[in-house]
Amino acid sequence: MRLAIYPGSFDPVTNGHLDVIKRAAKLFDRVIVAVAHNEQKQGLFSTEERVSLLNATAGQTANVEVMEFNGLLVEFAAAQGACAVIRGLRAISDFEFEFQMALMNRKLDASIETLFLMPKEDYTYLSSRIVKEIARLGGGIESFVPEPVRAALGEKFAAERRISAKV
Ligand code: ADP
């Protein structure tokens, strides 16, 4: 049983993440999408909301499971019995940070390999941050995120607009 962990913020999950998850699910018997819970880093969506959006999308693939984790990634991966950590590489700009993280994780636990997967070219410019920016400004995001995420972003920003109209 070969298990891989795909960790990230997923705030929220985009079609780029889903592309990477599908590729990983073909290579491994089981994939755990691990949502990092970080008290210091408040996102737009709560950890529960991110997990729920992932369950509604990535979680529909038979060998993909969604979990939340906090603390050291290598410790979580070892506790689950994973042999690999998956990360997505979009462009050279991702490389330096990812390379540093991968080597640090190897120092912490040499038994876990980091594997980089490239998404379909159409998704190389996609990030959660840019999708949130477009949605906040009222732009169309249907080709960047799955439907449950589009709906959730719509609700989030409609709520924000209602609050700022009241202030
Ligand atoms: P983090 O905060 O850990 O970078 P993200 O949710 O932004 O979390 O990303 C998780 C992983 O998915 C990272 O390896 C990131 O490079 C990758 N990723 C994000 N967006 C894309 C995309 N459009 N295509 C491929 N990989 C992506």
Question: 44 near 13, Cβ under 8 Å?
Answer: no
- Ligand 1: residue whose CA is nearest its atom 22: 16
Distances (CA, A) of 99 to 60, 84, 154: 31, 15, 35
CA of 155 to the centre of ligand 1 (A): 23
Catalytic residue flag (residue 156): no
Mean pLDDT of the 154-166 span: 81
Q: Which domains does the chain have, with CATH numbers?
A: 3-166 (3.40.50.620)
Task: Please choose from 127, 133, 134, 149 the residue to mutate so as to test ligand 1's pocket, defined by most ligand atoms within 8 A of CB.
Answer: 127
Check pocket membership of 12 for ligand 1, CB cut-off 6 A: no
Q: Quick one: which atom of ligand 1 is closest to the CA of 118?
A: 25
Read off the pLDDT band of 167 (50, 70, 90): low
CA of 87 to the centre of ligand 1 (A): 7
pLDDT in tens, 21-35: 999 999 999 999 999
pLDDT in tens, 92-129: 888 999 999 999 999 999 999 999 999 999 999 999 99
pLDDT in tens, 58-68: 999 999 999 99
Distances (CA, A) of 147 to 11, 13, 32, 53, 121: 15, 11, 22, 10, 21
CA of 1 to the centre of ligand 1 (A): 25
Catalytic residue among 23, 50, 90, 132: 90
